[in-house]
Each structure stands twice: as C-alpha cells, then as structure tokens.
Structure 1
Amino acid sequence: MIKTRKILGKTVAIALAGAGFFMTASAAADAVSDYPTRPITVTTPTAAGGGTDIVARIVSEKMSALLGQPIVISNKPGAGGVIGNQAMLREKNDGYSLFITANSNQLIVPWVFKNANFDPIKDYAPIAALGVVPYVLAVYPDFPAKNLDEFLALIKKNPGQYQYASAGAGTLNHLIPEMLTHTIGTRMEHIPYRGVAPAMADVLSGRVPIIFGSLSSVLENIKAGKLRALGVSSAQRTGVLPDVPAISEKIPGFRSEMWVALYAPAGTPGPVIDKLHKTAQAALSDPKTKELFQGLGMSVMTEGPEELAKMQEAEYQQWKETVEVAGASVN
C-alpha cells in the first residue's frame, strides 16, 4: 500500500506539474497575443534630426498605429553610437525597449573604439531591416577627373596627392574611400571633420575636392551643379542619378551602403520579435512610408530577422578589415 501510495502521489505530482507547464505556456501565449499593453521606447544612438532619427520616427509612427500603443523616441547620441549602445545594454528584453540604428554606428564603431564595450552580434536580436541609402563619390566641379574612369586612373597614378573630406575617423565618409583605395592599390589623404556639415562646407568651397557622401546629403548640391557625381557605392545605379555609374561597374564586387535596422535586446521572446517584424513590414509597405523614404534618398528594405542577422555578421567582419587597413582604431 505504501508503495502504491508513493507511485500515486508521484503521478499526481507529475500531472500537476504538467498542468502548471501548460498554464505557464498558455499565459505566455496570452501575454504575447496581448503585446504591447503599454508604451514602447525606441532608442537611437544619434541626435534628433539626423537620418537615423528621421527613419526611426517615420517607422515608429506607423508601427504605433498598427500596435495600438505609443512609441516614444529616445535620442542618446555621442561617441559614434557608443553611448546609445551602452544605454541599451541596461534595458530589459521584454519587447518594450527597442533600438533603431545604422550599420555605421552598430558594426563599425566596435572596431574603431576599443572601449565601446558592446557586441552587435551577441547583445541584440535583429527584428527588421528598414531602409538603405547609397553613398556618392562627389567632387568639386573644377576637379580634373570628369568621370569615374578618369578619377580611378588619376588617384592610382598619384597616390596620396588628393584629399577627401569625412565626418570623422571611422565614419562611412572615411572608410568607403579607404576601401576603394585599398582595393585598387593606392591612397588618398584623409581630412577628418567634426560632422558632415563642416566637411561638406569645405568641399563646396573647393578647399578639399572629394567626398563620399550619402545620397541624401549630396543630392541637392549635385542637382544645383555645386558638386559633380562620379559614382555610387550601391551594387547598381540609383534611379535618382541614372547617369552616374555604380563603382562596381569598374570594380566588380565593390559595394557599401548605409542601412538602418530595428533591434531588440538579446533574449527578447521569439513571438514578440515575430510580431514586431510583421508590424515593421506592414509599416514599410505603406505607400506613404516609401514616399518619405524616397525623400531621404533611401529605399525600403525587406530583410527579416534571419536575413538581417546574416547580413550584419558578414559586414561586421568586412569592416574589421577596413578599419585595420585605414588605421582608424582609437583607445
């Protein structure tokens, strides 16, 4: 009898434990189906008014309407994205703290700043790629090279003789030309500035003749004849500048663009990630979103969590090599 009673008690315990499991699983499912039940905060590691911030606001407004909860933008700029990333490391992985950032802040900065203290692969769960914009090789109108062929021949024949401006060490304005010169076996002199605005001012004045600027930052001056576009960094030509060749037409495989993506802290529940991904895709498919992105020179992206993870892992290693070649690391 004692033995039977023990077996019976164990059976009841297992049954109760099983019931508890299913209750827990059911409660978790209900929690996800109800998500979100309160406002969401989206952090960006850039200042208000910048390209990443504008993308964050456009997408968040659409997602907020679809999710039925407010989405608050929190700007935490500084140190090329380090401050925003370190702030995100302190956030909970419950789906109410999200991160919208550009690949330049996320995948380059850890190689540039040795004290960045974040891992873009391990510390974040990818949700959705949002938008992408190519960079444009643009020169002062009096620059001797009139097209991409002439430009490549000129800098290859005269290593170190020509200067290019950037928004600072480790930015895409700095590393894309370093990638280019390394690929063709030459070099140019890097003139860093504290931001895009002062760099652009000196290029427009002719003090520094060359810049690799994002399409949105140089398009107006190209149209006005204040800069001459020689090439774009995307894999193919852009419809906004159809007569400007892709650099890859002359250097096969050359490609580097700025893209912006949505992340959550690592460990955020999969069903929450899935719901956010579907919501982001719905927001991006809205014609108004596409129109607003076009005004920024951007194209909507379609990559989900898995595709985004593969894309960032490959690019993370690519930037490691480029930063090393450029000698852009700082302590």
Structure 2
Amino acid sequence: MSAIPLSRRAALLGLGACAMPMVGLRAQGLGDWPNRPIRWVNPGPAGGAGDVISRLIADRLQAKLGQPIVVDNRPGAGTNIGMTQVARAAPDGYTVGLASIAANAANKWLYRNMPFDPEKDFAAVGLIALVPNIVVIPPSVPARTLQEFITWAKAQNRPINFGSVGAGSSQHLAGSQFQIITGVPLQHLPYTNGGQMNSDLIEGRLDLLFQSISAVTQMAQAGRMRPLAVSGAARVEAFPDLPTMQEQGVDITSTGWFGLCTPAGVPEPILAKLDTELQEIVQDPALAQRLSAGGAIPRAMGRADFARFMAEESAKWRVVIQAVGASVD
C-alpha cells in the first residue's frame, strides 16, 4: 500500500479539523444546525446602542457557530416591528432577536394592541448587558447638578420637554420614573432620529435627555451638552467622575438592557447551545472592555434567570407606566 502524499495528507487533516465542530454539534442533538446563515434582528435604529451591541455579539457568535450571522435592523413602533418578525419566524434556530426593556417588558403596558405576547412568543437565551442612561441638558440651562436642575425646572411654570428614541425605551421610562420621584412635570417627545434629538437638545428645543451614553459621549465631553448624572446603580467607565442619580438624592437606579431571544418553540438543544456560547462571549474580558468603554455593563445571565429577569422588569415598569398614565394607542 503506497503512502499518502504529504500534500494530500495535510488536506485530509484540514478537512477533518473542519468537520470536528459539526460532529460535536450532532453529538449534542443539534443535527446539522446551523448549516446556513442566521438572521439577527435588531429592532432599533442603525448606529444605536442596540445596533452596536448586536454587531459585537454577532461577530463573535458566528465565529463559534461557523455560519454567518447577519444583523438586520428593523426599527419602528417602539421595537414592535422588528420583534414581531422574530415572534413570527420559523422556530428553527435561524432567526434570533435582540430582547430589550421596550419589547420584552414595557410595551405590553403602553400599547393596547400588541402584535405579540412577550411572555409566550419568545424563548429567552440570555442577558448581554445593562445600559445606563446619562442625564444631559443644554449648556444654556444654568444647572450644574441634578438638584439644581430640579429647582430650575420647577421654576419654569411649564412642562419640561424631554426626548427619547420612542415610547417604551429606557430613556422614556427613566423620564417617567424621574417625574414620579421629583414631581417635575415632563412632556415626552418621541423621536425616530437620535441625531436630530441630540441636536434639539444642544440648541435648547429640548430641556432634558436620558440618553444612551455611547450616543452622546463625544458631545458631552466637548461641552456641547452638559452631563448631570447617570441612571444606573454605579458610576460608569466613560464618565468616572459623574455621580449617579441616586448619589444626588434621586433614587433611580434602573437601566436599559439588552439580551438575546428566539421565537418560541426553538428546539431545546439549539437554545442550550446558544445559551452556552452567549455566556462565554459576554464573559470574555476583551468584549467586556469594548462594552464598558461605550457605557454598557456586561452581564452574563443564563436562560432561566433571564426569563425571570424579564418578568420582573415587566412587573416593575407596569407600576411606573400606569402611575404616569402613559399610553401610545
């Protein structure tokens, strides 16, 4: 029997190495999944915090699964448009969606006619990150601290205009909670264009924003808008000297958040695989640094805990939304 030529032997070894991941997947009861690209639906706008997080995670997940993961931005209706597509997709593991405080916690209390049931129509995979908001005001407003702003706002004898990227967003909910706690009357103005919202604040057409940190870091650091506080439970890496709202006497520690979900009914082995890989990705120190630099807080959380987390968030925001009487339709 003649020896296999060296070049052919190397090629066969290479094919064997490529086949090993798929053998491992079959051993886990995954069949040949995935054998084609996976669609990742981001229900928010391009360039937003959800888009950035989607692409960071998708790039790493596709390296682990061996198939392209294509991020598909489907914004609109407070994330309901994109998440409706996830809910109605085939439960075969080839469509995943970016879960958020809007679609998976708040919207059912804001919209009378929801196109999906956030508890029944999705399967939780895992939490990715908490996303505190930064409180920013125009440079023309004289306040330098949160308490000074509250005093100024109450002296205006009019509702204080604040913007958000849409009803049910973490910015909208932070404003609603701020109104309840401080007694400052707020007028919510939803935007579809985050850039225009930032411009309106800088030019004084808005009085206040609870904005995602990554969206305003450069403008705040350049003095075009004035940061007053962050909304999370702790200070953030991007603004280490900026106190939290709680440190300034306003007991708001809630934050936005993003996680991963699939349509309900995806086979258990696929959900388990996604859960395992996602937790490994989120706990990677290099990714954690990327997320932290943009104002997010990496937070790995498995499927069962993430499902409980979303249910608790829904219950919490129901109280806030009903207290301020917020409604979209």
> Normalising to structure 2: TM-score of the pair?
0.83
Matched residue, 2:208 = 210
CA distance in 2, matches of 1:63, 1:169: 30
Aligned pair partner of 2:284 in 270, 286, 293: 286
Aligned pair partner of 1:149 in 147, 150, 158: 147
Aligned pair partner of 2:101 in 87, 100, 103: 103
Residue type at the aligned position of 1:279: E
What is the CA distance between 1:317 and its match in structure 2? 1.8
Q: Does 1:172 align with 2:184?
A: no
Q: Is the 8 A contact 1:170 1:323 kept in 2?
A: no
Matched residue, 1:229 = 227
**Structure 1 277/189 Cα, relative in aligned 2: closer, same or farther at 3 Å?**
same
Q: Is the 8 A contact 2:98 2:258 kept in 1?
A: yes
Q: Could you tell which deviates more after superposition, 297-306 or 103-112? A: 103-112
Which runs of structure 2 are paired with 1:27-38 in the superposition (5 Å)? 31-32=29-30, 35-38=33-36
**Structure 1 195/126 Cα, relative in aligned 2: closer, same or farther at 3 Å?**
same
Matched residue, 1:140 = 138
Q: Is the 8 A contact 1:46 1:52 kept in 2?
A: yes
**Structure 1 74/186 Cα, relative in aligned 2: closer, same or farther at 3 Å?**
closer
Structure 2 runs not aligned, ≥5 long = 1-25
What is the CA distance between 1:296 and its match in structure 2? 2.8
CA distance in 1, matches of 2:326, 2:110: 6
CA distance in 1, matches of 2:46, 2:191: 20
**Structure 1 305/68 Cα, relative in aligned 2: closer, same or farther at 3 Å?**
same
CA distance in 1, matches of 2:205, 2:115: 37
CA distance in 2, matches of 1:168, 1:82: 11
Q: Is the 8 A contact 2:88 2:263 kept in 1?
A: no
What is the CA distance between 1:276 and its match in structure 2? 0.8
After superposition, what is the alpha-carbon deviation per residue over 1:248-291, rounded to whole angstroms, capped at 9, x for unaligned? Answer: 22447522222111111223233322211111122223344234
Give the SS at the match of 2:131.
strand
**Structure 1 156/289 Cα, relative in aligned 2: closer, same or farther at 3 Å?**
same
What is the CA distance between 1:223 and its match in structure 2? 0.6
Give the SS at the match of 1:38.
coil
Q: Is the 8 A contact 1:159 1:186 kept in 2?
A: no
CA distance in 1, matches of 2:127, 2:288: 14
Q: Is the 8 A contact 1:43 1:75 kept in 2?
A: yes
**Structure 1 214/286 Cα, relative in aligned 2: closer, same or farther at 3 Å?**
same
Aligned pair partner of 1:196 in 194, 203, 208: 194
Runs of 4+ in structure 1 off by over 6 angstroms are none
What is the CA distance between 1:204 and its match in structure 2? 0.5
After superposition, what is the alpha-carbon deviation per residue over 1:138-180, rounded to whole angstroms, capped at 9, x for unaligned? Answer: 1112313211222234445666453323334443333212211
> Normalising to structure 1: TM-score of the pair?
0.83
Q: Does 1:255 align with 2:275?
A: no
The structure whose Rg is larger is 1
**Structure 1 75/191 Cα, relative in aligned 2: closer, same or farther at 3 Å?**
closer
Residue type at the aligned position of 2:198: M
Matched residue, 2:3 = none
Give the SS at the match of 2:300.
coil
What is the CA distance between 1:63 and its match in structure 2? 1.0
CA distance in 1, matches of 2:132, 2:28: 42
Aligned pair partner of 1:299 in 280, 288, 297: 297
After superposition, what is the alpha-carbon deviation per residue over 1:58-108, rounded to whole angstroms, capped at 9, x for unaligned? Answer: 111111111122222233222222222222222222322211233224322
Give the SS at the match of 1:314.
helix
CA distance in 2, matches of 1:105, 1:119: 9
Q: Is the 8 A contact 1:156 1:184 kept in 2?
A: no
Matched residue, 1:83 = 81
CA distance in 2, matches of 1:34, 1:244: 50
What is the CA distance between 1:239 and its match in structure 2? 2.4
Q: Could you tell which deviates more after superposition, 225-234 or 107-116? A: 107-116
Q: Does 1:268 align with 2:266?
A: yes
Q: Is the 8 A contact 1:160 1:186 kept in 2?
A: no
Give the SS at the match of 2:281.
helix
> How many pairs are equivalent?
305
**Structure 1 53/194 Cα, relative in aligned 2: closer, same or farther at 3 Å?**
closer
After superposition, what is the alpha-carbon deviation per residue over 1:192-244, rounded to whole angstroms, capped at 9, x for unaligned? Answer: 43432222111111232321111111211111011111111001111221221
Matched residue, 1:313 = 311
